[in-house]
Structure 1
């Protein structure tokens, strides 16, 4: 073996080790979370249960794969009843979601709330933990433009 060949191999090993060290030091970019918006606009308990089933199934699926998923349920028109303290047919289950599934959020349409307030003489109370957006459909448009998947069961 020639003296030059040994030093070239040593140089190659050093360069390779340096490259591997640098490659490993680069922060690994985690994948963006999956994003799902579920629309509920009908006052139908079966559809409300379906929305919750879908949210639970999708959350469980991606959790099982070790991936993150953000889920938002946006309610307007008749679907707003799902989020109302005094009349939600899925109140207990929804409250359990709010306690145990931080990746699932619920949003009420402010316009629908205002319409109910005029019609009923008072603004109906929301289940604690539900947030409000002024226009439910506009919120769906905004998140669709940010590449969320929208599903209407």
Structure 2
């Protein structure tokens, strides 16, 4: 009888350890460019105001400094008026390039760019290193499903 009690206690303890362990496991996105990243952040920019653009760039820079560029994977996704940040002639181009050099990805909604071209008859020239995505909001939804945390500064 002692033996059964011991075996039952061990089974219960093992079950508890597995349950607690499973609670601490979480799915994290896989980042090819940042394989050691522990934090995964998606910054949304859908506003064309200079103050908002500066805030998004500051958040990205501050987090790179705080966590270190290898420990955080940051993407900035722009759509709507926010795509102005990705214009080649944007006054923040050097700052954007510096963030890109530290591994920050910048994506731009091509649906918005196509709409601008259709409405104005001219396609805006974009920063040469941006990553085009078909639909910005759909891209955000997909990245959040993968485990990225969405922040809209």
Q: TM-score, normalised by structure 1?
A: 0.72
Aligned mates of 1:125, 1:42 — CA distance in 2: 19
User: Which runs of structure 2 are paired with 1:18-33 in the superposition (5 Å)?
Assistant: 33=38
Structure 1 residue 89: Cα displacement: 3.9
Task: Figure out how many residues of one structure are paired with residues of the other and give that number.
Answer: 119
Aligned mates of 1:59, 1:31 — CA distance in 2: 14
Structure 1 residue 92: Cα displacement: 2.5
Aligned mates of 2:88, 2:36 — CA distance in 1: 37
Gaps in structure 2 of 5+ consecutive residues:
1-34
User: Which runs of structure 2 are paired with 1:36-75 in the superposition (5 Å)?
Assistant: 36-63=41-68, 68-75=71-78
4+ long deviations beyond 3 Å: none
Residue 91, structure 1, aligned to residue 96, structure 2: no
Gaps in structure 1 of 5+ consecutive residues:
1-29
Structure 2 equivalent of residue 4 of structure 1: none
Q: Who wins on radius of gyration, i.e. which is larger? A: 1
Aligned mates of 1:32, 1:49 — CA distance in 2: 24
Q: TM-score, normalised by structure 2?
A: 0.72
Q: Are the counterparts in 2 of residues 45 and 90 from structure 1 also a CA contact under 8 Å?
A: no
Structure 1 residue 138: Cα displacement: 0.5
